[in-house]
């Protein structure tokens, strides 16, 4: 399962027109003021070790689940949502609760995906992590060695 080939398998079945299963997941921020529901096809699940993810998450890597295509619905507290776009980044925006700072999902138009910070989920993730990306930026103390595929930089497309 953790051989990093899932993304290819998923895109091939898309081209063949096989219906992928739609999944709905619920999540919330740390204080519970913001709640969301996301519906789509779980496609990719990466641990991202890039410096932006480290700064934004305060830990060794972000664990991001990619849904595609999909719908993101705020079921509570939408007015609490804050965002910070890294000025020099093409599309790195941190979305978080203005009260507790907990990270929240974002819609990324450029890659037609919803990126879910997996730790914000109240439901279990529908797929397992597939790879570690931006491993070149990994902090020396960060977890590793679990047999997942490792990519020096960006994710396999
Ligand atoms: Zn909150
Ligand atoms: Zn990252």
Q: How far is CA 119 from the centre of its chain?
A: 9
User: Rounded to two decimals, what is the model's pTM?
Assistant: 0.83
* Residue 52 structure tokens: 């932006």
* DSSP string for residues in 51-69: HHHHHHHTSS-EEEEEEEE
* Cα(108)–Cα(114) distance, integer angstroms: 6
- How many angstroms does the Cα of residue 24 sit away from the middle of ligand 1? 21
**pLDDT reading at 26 higher than 50:** yes
- How many angstroms does the Cα of residue 37 sit away from the middle of ligand 1? 15
Q: Which ligand is nearest to the CA of 34?
A: 1
- How many angstroms does the Cα of residue 93 sit away from the middle of ligand 1? 17
- How many angstroms does the Cα of residue 50 sit away from the middle of ligand 2? 4
- pLDDT tens for 111-134 read 889 999 999 999 999 999 999 999
pLDDT band, very low/low/confident/very high, at 19 (cuts 50, 70, 90): low
**pLDDT reading at 9 higher than 60:** no
pLDDT band, very low/low/confident/very high, at 1 (cuts 50, 70, 90): very low
Give me the CATH topology for the region 8-43+64-127.
Answer: 2.170.150
- pLDDT tens for 56-88 read 999 999 999 999 877 899 999 999 999 999 999
- In the block, which residue shows the tokens 């096809």? 41
Whole-number percent of the chain with pLDDT over 90 = 73
- How many angstroms does the Cα of residue 82 sit away from the middle of ligand 1? 10
**pLDDT reading at 6 higher than 60:** no
- How many angstroms does the Cα of residue 156 sit away from the middle of ligand 1? 33
């Amino acid at each position: 399962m953790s051989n990093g080939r899932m993304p290819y398998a998923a895109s091939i079945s898309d081209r063949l027109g096989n219906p992928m299963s739609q999944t709905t997941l619920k999540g919330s921020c740390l204080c519970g003021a913001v709640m969301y529901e996301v519906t789509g096809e779980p496609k990719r699940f990466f641990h991202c070790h890039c410096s932006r993810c480290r700064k934004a998450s305060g830990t060794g890597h972000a664990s991001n689940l990619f849904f595609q295509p999909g719908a993101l619905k705020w079921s509570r507290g939408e007015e609490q949502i804050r965002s910070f776009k890294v000025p020099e980044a093409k599309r790195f925006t941190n979305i978080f609760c203005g009260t507790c700072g907990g990270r929240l999902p974002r819609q990324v138009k450029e890659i037609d995906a919803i990126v879910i910070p997996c730790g914000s989920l109240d439901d279990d993730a529908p797929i397992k992590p597939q790879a570690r990306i931006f491993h070149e930026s990994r902090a020396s103390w960060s977890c590793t060695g679990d047999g997942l595929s490792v990519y020096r930089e960006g994710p396999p497309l």
